[in-house]
């Protein structure tokens, strides 16, 4: 492949992996069974789309991916992009990207919750996954092995069935290096996200592995989805252990020498200070967003239930963003209709911050954004928004009132 005998796409892929592998002192490539690619057109730009189109022009035997390869959320929901005041140019670039990806044999799943909806990996499986929330969940909760793979590297893995063997593909890098004791039990998804943010901020390194002890309840998949997504967002962390909960940490001593690591306490006061940094009661709210990660069917159902007999304020937009698989079920079960009847908009196959968030803000006059996602409020400040964080229940109450409750 490196010599070009299997075509330019695979030669590029090998050259790319060699560069990355050499940077991280990988001495070989590891075979991977699945690839998952983040490739929204806002990130790729025209240059990125043209790169993939060039690849798509090669003969099938030279361009098709060699392992199952799926996609992260896109930036456009074609049914609603005009409602969001995204432009036709954005939609056209999106169509070009989709055409090119499909020509490579990539399955357009358009989701960051593939571990809940498509095909969850199993313990020990080596992967090339993109989207930090996907990676940290699959490493931590399922015991799979993946580094953060950006779009180009995931594509290289898809074309070759391999990725450089460094980081979390190596067992010795999966042991805990920083220890947390939690003295407050999270009570909802937002607080799980807040815990992830607090651990992530303390850790703040891809190369450190936090172990979290003293969680006395059994979290749900959605709880851990928000925990991991926030931890990865605030700290670039790709793996954590929850003692007695995640598979590599049946006990504290299974992942570290307990006496060798200093203990960082996380208290209720830390949670309170974290929430206080996002939003002030009484502030007007332009847009309330449930996204990042995409909502599970359970979250969609909870949202519909909380919106029952309520009406979103006319000056506030409420967006519920989910995967195409969940959207199909939510539509079939009447869940989407309930959200829409209350004045909300259900979007599928995209994620808010991957959807030209700055341009949407300018076009719609949005400044203040409220969400129950700690990950989203962390990201969106750079796009010019003033973010507020609260539970789903408080977000809905605020959406109805048009201001932070």
Partner 1 sequence: MATRTLKCHVGIGPESTGKALVTDDNFSARYDLDRIKGIFSRPQHKLAGQSYVDKILVVNTAKGGVATAWMLHEMAARGMAPIAILFNRSNPILAQGGAFANMTLCDRFKDGDVTQLIKTDDTVTVIPSKGEVIVDSQR
Q: Which residue ranges make up the site for partner 1 (CB under 8 A)?
A: 16, 19-20, 22-24, 38-40, 43-48, 51, 130-132, 147-153, 167, 204-207, 232-236, 353-354, 358, 378-379, 381-384
Nearer to partner 1, 93 or 224 (CB): 93
Quick one: CA dihedral 151, 113, 378, 371, positive or negative?
positive
Q: Cβ 384 to partner 1, closest distance in Å? A: 7
Give percent helix, percent strand, percent coil of the chain, each to the nearest 5: 45, 15, 40
Nearer to partner 1, 71 or 316 (CB): 71
Longest CA–CA span in the chain (Å) reads 65
Nearer to partner 1, 142 or 237 (CB): 237
Q: Cβ 156 to partner 1, closest distance in Å? A: 9
Q: Cβ 261 to partner 1, closest distance in Å? A: 19
Q: Which residues contact 246 (CB under 8 A, 6 or more apart)?
A: 140, 141, 143, 240
Q: Cβ 350 to partner 1, closest distance in Å? A: 14
- Whole-number Å distance between alpha carbons of 53 and 71: 16
**Residues 111/101, Cβ–Cβ less than 8 Å:** no
Nearer to partner 1, 48 or 344 (CB): 48
**Residues 210/242, Cβ–Cβ less than 8 Å:** no
Nearer to partner 1, 157 or 194 (CB): 157
- Whole-number Å distance between alpha carbons of 7 and 64: 11
Q: Cβ 114 to partner 1, closest distance in Å? A: 14
Element (H, E) at 55: helix 41-56
Q: Cβ 312 to partner 1, closest distance in Å? A: 28
Nearer to partner 1, 207 or 217 (CB): 207
Tokens of 102: 């499909």
């Amino acid at each position: 492949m490196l010599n070009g005998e299997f075509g330019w796409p695979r030669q590029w892929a090998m050259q790319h992996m060699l560069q990355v592998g050499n940077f991280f002192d990988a001495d070989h490539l590891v075979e991977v069974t699945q690839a998952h690619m983040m490739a929204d057109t806002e990130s790729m730009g025209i240059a990125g789309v043209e790169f993939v189109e060039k690849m798509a022009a090669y003969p099938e035997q030279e361009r098709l991916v060699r392992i199952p390869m799926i996609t992260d959320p896109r930036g456009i929901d074609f049914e609603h992009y005009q409602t969001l005041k995204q432009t036709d140019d954005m939609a056209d670039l999106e169509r070009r990207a989709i055409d090119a990806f499909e020509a490579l044999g990539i399955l357009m799943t358009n989701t960051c919750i593939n571990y809940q909806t498509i095909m969850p990996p199993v313990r020990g499986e080596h992967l090339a996954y993109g989207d930090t929330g996907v990676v940290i969940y699959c490493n931590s909760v399922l015991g799979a092995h993946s580094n953060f793979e950006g779009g180009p590297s995931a594509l290289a893995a898809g074309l070759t069935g391999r990725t450089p063997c460094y980081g979390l593909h190596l067992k010795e890098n999966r042991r805990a290096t920083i220890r947390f004791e939690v003295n407050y039990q999270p009570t909802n998804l937002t607080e799980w996200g807040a815990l992830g943010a607090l651990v992530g901020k303390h850790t703040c390194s891809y190369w450190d592995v936090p172990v979290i002890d003293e969680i006395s309840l059994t979290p749900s998949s959605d709880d851990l989805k928000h925990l991991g997504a926030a931890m990865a967002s605030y700290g670039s962390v790709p793996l954590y252990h929850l003692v007695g909960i995640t598979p590599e940490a049946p006990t504290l001593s299974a992942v570290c020498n307990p006496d060798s690591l200093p203990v960082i306490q996380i208290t209720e006061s830390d949670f309170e200070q974290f929430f206080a940094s996002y939003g002030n009661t009484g502030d007007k709210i332009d847009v309330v967003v449930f996204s990042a990660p995409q909502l599970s069917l359970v979250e969609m159902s909870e949202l519909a239930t909380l919106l029952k007999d309520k009406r979103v304020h006319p000056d506030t937009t409420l967006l519920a963003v989910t995967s195409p698989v969940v959207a199909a079920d939510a539509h079939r079960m009447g869940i989407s209709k309930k959200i829409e009847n209350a004045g909300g908009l259900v979007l599928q196959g995209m994620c808010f911050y991957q959807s030209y968030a700055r341009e949407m803000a300018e076009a719609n006059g949005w400044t203040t954004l409220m969400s129950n996602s700690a990950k989203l409020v962390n990201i969106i400040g750079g796009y010019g928004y003033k973010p507020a964080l609260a539970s789903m229940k408080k977000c809905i109450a605020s959406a109805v009132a048009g201001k932070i409750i």
